[in-house]
Amino acid sequence: MSQSQGVSASSPAAAAAAPSQPGRRSKVAVGQMTSVGDQLANFNTCKQLAEQAAAAGCSMLFLPECFSFIGASQPESLSKAEPLDGPAMARYRQLARDTGLWLSLGGFQETGPDPEHLYNCHVVLDASGATAAAYRKVHLFDVDVPNGPVLMESRTTAPGDKLVACDSPAGRLGLSVCYDLRFPEVYQTLTWGMGAEVLLVPSAFTKVTGKAHWEVLLRARAIECQCFVIAAAQAGKHNEKRESYGHALIIDPWGEVIGRLEDPQGTGIAVAELDFELLSAVRTKVPIREHRAKGRSQLAGQLT
């Protein structure tokens, strides 16, 4: 798996070593919605969430995987794939300009490498509507969920091969999508190798796996990486075949939930302030970076 910085001007090593600026804070909103098989209806929902986030004084809104479309079949989703400079994404670029928000668009059906496959692409737009970063989901969800659906994402989705981090008004972001959450090495690389302060996990978790694993995995990633974690979520019933868990969260570097929707299955936003002095304090009091380097040195040749 290769690595990429997105479009950040700073190097990963420099970003990883740089201390947080004293007093630096950022107010952000995490979104939750129930996407359906109507792109315009989904956009109107995202627009409402963006307007709420802007009215609350947020610098950035984080939207879930499949924010633009969830169809009743994989071929239907494949038929909606577009390039990132296409008309579907153009609406969201204009939304960023209209609201003055940075937008994390957690999983877009991007045109793929061949007619049978798309990319599940997490796109970050700046407030001018320009692409700040784009990450193509690496780990694809090919799982027979116990007492749930059989989901074979790889049938119509091609995996990406680069990790991506970028700078934003909400801190240095490490991008991922949904099933990536189960692979802690992704987040450790984003944090310790690429300087991430905020880990993004936009998702459409199933109800069965969400109830069992969603919050505990998110809090684990926050604690072990000493990062904020922002997890936008799909919620509720999308169609006769698909239902999502919801429970969008914002978690601090100590593992505490600091943002949660009042209705875990509803549509809306939760707002929280990211305090980067807290992040610096946590990393100082429990110096995982230094201990990790010593441990890796001692276990040289044994870690993969």
Residues 200 and 104: their CA atoms lie apart, in Å, by 9
Residue type, 119: Y
Residues 20 and 165: their CA atoms lie apart, in Å, by 16
**Is residue 153 a contact partner of residue 120, using CB atoms and an 8 Å limit?**
yes
237 is catalytic: no
Q: Name the residue with tokens 């599940």.
A: 120
**Active-site residue among 58, 110, 121, 137?**
137
For 204, phi and psi rounded to 5 degrees?
Answer: -135, 65
Residues 24 and 276: their CA atoms lie apart, in Å, by 6
What's CA 156's distance to the chain center, in Å? 21
Element (H, E) at 245: strand 243-245
Convert 123-137 to b/e letters by CB count within 10 Å (16 or more is b). Answer: bbbbbebebbbbbbb
Three-class SS of 1-38: CEEECCCCCCCHHHHHHCCCCCCCEEEEEEEEECCCCC
Element (H, E) at 236: strand 233-237
121 is catalytic: no
**Active-site residue among 58, 65, 66, 243?**
65
110 is catalytic: no
| Spatial CA neighbour of 124 closest among 86, 93, 156 | 93
**Active-site residue among 46, 58, 121, 178?**
178
Q: Name the residue with tokens 């300087």.
A: 195
Element (H, E) at 102: strand 102-114
Among all residues, which ones are annotated catalytic? 65, 137, 178
